[in-house]
Amino acid sequence: MAFLTLGGLFALRGERNTVYASDQPSPLLQATPGPVNFVPMSDDQCLECHADEKMILPLPSGEQLSLQVDRIEYRTSVHGQKGYACVQCHTDITGFPHPEQNFQDTRDVTIYMAQACATCHEQAAEEYHTGTHSSLLEEGNKDSATCADCHGSHTIRDFGNIRTRIAAACQQCHSEIYNVYQDSVHGAALLDDFNPDVPACSDCHGNHNNSGPTQAGFHVASPEICATCHTDDTLMAKYEINTDVFDTYFADFHGSTVQIFEKTTPDQETNKPVCIDCHGVHDIKSPDNVGSTVIKQNLLTTCQRCHPDATPNFSDAWLSHYEPDLENHTIVYLVDLFYKFFIPGTLGIMGFFVVTDFWRSRIYKPKTQGGKES
């Protein structure tokens, strides 16, 4: 029955959830919005066999590959609604019997069929080849995600604005991280409150060209990811969050060193902390949460990760990410303000005396000496 394999190339439902694709067509789909004129086999011909739920293909691995395609599910999918025929993805199916393929397991099928997606979604395919998933696949990790793992196959729906589906897609492989994320300040807001403002997985890691901690330079450049939201005045004003975090971070010795590394040797790690080293990664809590790594009672422990000899006075000296003003760190603000006037004033007075003394020595003294000589 190996000749039937191509008929079930995407029929892997039940193993993975479906993530929904955007209804924005790829550039190629825009150029050819309808099905091709030449259709070797019609969908009805395909479904004469493939609508049967009992149509299952045993593979050499011992897995059972379902070859069934639900007619209604496909026709209500993004591709089905646009009128794309089966053979536009299964391009080498021109009749019956189908060509034989030497797939060993269901992963071989899924990986092979990603080529069909690349035919239309060229830009996404190019981006994918620069991402972590593609790199892992090229290294021989067959479990690394391809198109159908995230988007589904015959049941792809309009992505819409339901951002929770992004996290649900990643959960299929990254379940442990998902469990941590859903209890974080970002995850709880997204998954429980459906808040569209907080980051989902792809906002930090990217979509098809995803990146992560295994890639050189990701750690050093990660503050730029946080800055995307946390320097947005309009967005942060909704939640009364201070937007000085980026500037204050790069103004201190931690951030300035990281910035030097990023600009000079971006692929080299630094021993100075970035945002995620203090605040957490997927487990970030609100700074008011008792479990937060930056709440006052936990701050010393956080500092001691890098400064094991730190005492309570060490963490108490930190000004957080606030610029000193009359409300935050009043004494520091007043002392700083005093010296802003005192130092220029002192230097100005001293400079005045130096200039006048120089002028006196050059103007008056020669005249006096000249008078004596006469």
**Are 346 and 256 in a shared domain?**
no
Q: Pick the last residue of a domain from 145, 160, 175.
A: 160
Task: Determine the Cα–Cα distance for residues 265 and 334; give it in Å rounded to an integer.
Answer: 39
Residues 6+ apart with CB under 8 A from 310: 300, 303, 304
Residue 64 DSSP SS3: strand
pLDDT range class, residue 353, cuts 50, 70, 90: very high
Residue 185 DSSP one-character state: H
**Are 334 and 372 in a shared domain?**
yes
The domain tally of the chain equals 4
pLDDT, position 317: 78
**Are 242 and 273 in a shared domain?**
yes
- Two tokens, residue 309: 């000899």
Range with lowest mean pLDDT among 70-74, 161-165, 285-289 = 161-165
**Are 294 and 191 in a shared domain?**
no
Q: State residue 56 phi and psi, 5-degree precision.
A: -130, 135
**Are 282 and 143 in a shared domain?**
no
Q: When comparing pLDDT for 125 and 213, which is higher? A: 125
- For the segment 33-55, the average pLDDT, to the nearest whole number, is 75
**Are 146 and 178 in a shared domain?**
no
* % of the chain at pLDDT higher than 70: 86
Residue 241 DSSP one-character state: -
Q: Pick the last residue of a domain from 94, 128, 160.
A: 160
Q: What is the pLDDT of residues 204-253, one digit of tens each?
A: 999 999 998 888 788 888 999 999 999 999 999 999 998 988 888 888 88
**Are 59 and 148 in a shared domain?**
yes
Mean pLDDT of the chain: 83
**Are 125 and 260 in a shared domain?**
no
**Are 258 and 269 in a shared domain?**
yes
Q: Pick the last residue of a domain from 144, 179, 209.
A: 209
**Are 18 and 31 in a shared domain?**
yes
pLDDT, position 17: 41
Range with lowest mean pLDDT among 134-148, 196-210, 290-304, 323-337 = 323-337
**Are 236 and 88 in a shared domain?**
no
The model's pTM is: 0.74
**Other CB atoms within 10 A of residue 8 CB:** 22
Residues 6+ apart with CB under 8 A from 26: 120, 121, 122, 123, 124
**Which range of residues forms the domain containing residue 188?**
162-209
pLDDT, position 369: 53
- For the segment 44-49, the average pLDDT, to the nearest whole number, is 90
Q: Are 121 and 27 in contact (CB under 8 A)?
A: no
- For the segment 264-275, the average pLDDT, to the nearest whole number, is 82
**Are 16 and 136 in a shared domain?**
yes
